[in-house]
Amino acid sequence: MFETGVRQFRLALGIALRRRLDPRNVERLVGDVLATLAEFGEAGADAAELVEGPTTNPEDRLEFTNGSLRRTAVRLGAQSPFYARLFSSAQIDPAKLDVAGLRAIPVTVKADLTERPGDFRCTDVQAYLATRTTGTTGRPTEVWLSRYEMELWPALGALASVLRGELRPGDVMQVNLSSRSTVALHQAANACRLAGAGCRLLGIVPPETALESLAEGGATILLTNPSYLAELVKAARRAGMGAGDFRLRRLVSGGEVLSPSLVRAASGMFGVPHVEDPYSMTEIVPITGRPCSQGHMHHDTNLGLTELVDLHTGEPAAPGALGTLVITPYFPYRDCTPVLRYDTRDVARCLPDEPLHCELATVPATSLVLGKADHLLRMPGGEIVTSRQFIEVIESLPAEPWPARYRAAACDGRIRLTLPASAIAGYSQAEAVRHFAAAGLDVDLDIVGDDQAVSLRHTRSDMLETTFASPHALVGA
């Protein structure tokens, strides 16, 4: 029974689907996997392959990608006013689209979605749930989703999670994301429901409250952002807590740059072997990226196409070059407000043109996300410094000033780096300058009072949600 289900599902993923999937079938498959795991302890090789991509053969994969692009574009041309207009003005026949032809289509940018959200809504779908971006980059974008999407994604997510052992019956997942991240919260709660796990949606509350729930509430999985994780580690240190106080087996922290310094401290404090740092973004759900043990970011090929587009030429980024991630979720996984070639402005570096040897070697990869394109510091000599470079080196200072609060500017050909005084505590200015030089950053330091720290760089931990118990508490205060 279970093997039949797996075969049918693989077939459904592998062929060029023109109709929507039935979320109930995927939900049933999650139940079958759980029953098989309970009986035999493992789901079998067939099932494991299910979530690792439709195929590893490059020619078959290209055929799969081209077929997926065509069915996605055909639907957009018929149902999405924005893309119908775009295809017509660029004289593109969606039925003949392939990967090479895709590059002729202009990327969709955030301003398109923000200024004309109605034009992206497909005409054959009833909208159900609106979600807004909660990023720190300007005006929010509102994305409408259908009931079908909100049923399908948790089912697909739960299927992958139970097959990989990431979610088990009896787990308790604590979610410390902004309560306005409606899709992420819905996804987490429903994936837990399907997997027989518990889910505690807490929001960005005072860190002491979240710590108490983690420890006494017996959470086994924590889902949060790096900046809030930093506040949790600091609060746990203040309270004299250690790994023995927690039952966590997984710590998942995405949405911002996660530094090695914070990973070390958080792993030690919460007693987990590593911190998972997945890539996702509201506008391109359900597409995700997964980091591997060798520090690459591997991009989902089942549900969508991820391109790395050179920041200057708009062509595919060459090995070693920086590019922006441009993402196309496929139909039938994206339904209500689909985007094609969405320019995330998340910058990554193209890996060297040589075979990968990591555990995800068959899945296409880039470097980890290095920051937003608009936050790159361009020096007069042509050198580019990314947010990740700054955050990693600042957070590795002896004072462990996470989340890094800084401002960087090019000034007379040098980097002028503004930091709050507490960031370099324990160092003289000269020692701090040498710390940055050792990481290849030649900086002039501008030290300001700690009261200005939050205004230097906003992080997600700043979106504090007040409670009656602590109505005016500030995270990190």
Compare residues 19 and 357 and give the one whose CB is closer to Zn ion: 357
Shortest spacing between CB 439 and Zn ion, in angstroms: 23
Residue 419 near residue 438 (C-beta atoms within 8 A): no
Compare residues 352 and 449 and give the one whose CB is closer to Zn ion: 352
Shortest spacing between CB 325 and Zn ion, in angstroms: 16
Residue 120 near residue 338 (C-beta atoms within 8 A): yes
Shortest spacing between CB 256 and Zn ion, in angstroms: 21
Compare residues 311 and 358 and give the one whose CB is closer to Zn ion: 358
The two tokens of residue 299 are 């991009």
- 23-40 and 147-163 are packed helices; what angle lies between their axes, rounded to 10 degrees? 20
Q: Which one of the spans 173-181, 223-231, 288-296, 406-414 is the region binding Zn ion (CB under 5 A)?
A: 288-296
The two tokens of residue 202 are 């807490």
Compare residues 242 and 295 and give the one whose CB is closer to Zn ion: 295
Greatest distance between any 2 Cα atoms in the chain: 70
Shortest spacing between CB 362 and Zn ion, in angstroms: 10
Compare residues 283 and 300 and give the one whose CB is closer to Zn ion: 300
The DSSP output letter for 464 is P
Of 250, 296, 334, 405, which lies in the binding site for Zn ion, with binding defined by CB under 5 A?
296
Site for Zn ion in 426-455 (CB under 5 A): none
Shortest spacing between CB 312 and Zn ion, in angstroms: 26
Q: Which residues pair with 329 in a beta bridge?
A: 304
Short-list 441, 430, 428, 444, CA closest to 392: 441
Compare residues 204 and 297 and give the one whose CB is closer to Zn ion: 297
- 147-163 and 182-195 are packed helices; what angle lies between their axes, rounded to 10 degrees? 50
Short-list 198, 129, 199, 187, CA closest to 158: 187
Shortest spacing between CB 295 and Zn ion, in angstroms: 7
Tokens 């410094």 found at: 385
Site for Zn ion in 61-80 (CB under 5 A): none
d(CA 83, CA 117): 12
Q: State the amino acid at position 473 in one-letter form.
A: A
Shortest spacing between CB 299 and Zn ion, in angstroms: 11
Shortest spacing between CB 364 and Zn ion, in angstroms: 10
Compare residues 169 and 260 and give the one whose CB is closer to Zn ion: 260
Q: Do strands 407-411 and 414-420 pair parallel, antiparallel, or not at all (unpaired)?
A: antiparallel
Compare residues 317 and 360 and give the one whose CB is closer to Zn ion: 360
Angle, CA of 53, 55 and 56, to the nearest 5°: 100
Site string for Zn ion, 238-277 (x = CB under 5 A): ----------------------------------------
341: phi > 0 → left, psi -120 to 50 → alpha, else beta; which? left
Shortest spacing between CB 160 and Zn ion, in angstroms: 18
Say how many C-beta atoms besides its own lie within 10 A of residue 300's C-beta: 23
Residues 6+ apart with CB under 8 A from 333: 149, 152, 153, 156, 286, 303, 304
Q: Which residues pair with 221 in a beta bridge?
A: 173, 250
The DSSP output letter for 74 is H
Q: How many residues bind Zn ion (CB under 5 A)?
A: 5
Shortest spacing between CB 211 and Zn ion, in angstroms: 33
Site for Zn ion in 354-393 (CB under 5 A): 358, 360
The two tokens of residue 133 are 């971006």
Tokens 């039925």 found at: 95
Site for Zn ion in 131-150 (CB under 5 A): none
Compare residues 33 and 297 and give the one whose CB is closer to Zn ion: 297
Q: Which one of the spans 108-116, 182-190, 226-234, 351-359 is the region binding Zn ion (CB under 5 A)?
A: 351-359
292 contributes a contact to Zn ion by CB under 5 A: yes
Q: Which one of the spans 107-115, 149-157, 352-360, 435-443 is the region binding Zn ion (CB under 5 A)?
A: 352-360
Of 294, 455, 467, 470, which lies in the binding site for Zn ion, with binding defined by CB under 5 A?
294
Compare residues 295 and 440 and give the one whose CB is closer to Zn ion: 295
C-alpha of 1 from chain center: 35
Q: Which one of the spans 89-97, 287-295, 322-330, 398-406 is the region binding Zn ion (CB under 5 A)?
A: 287-295
Binding site for Zn ion (CB under 5 A): 292, 294, 296, 358, 360
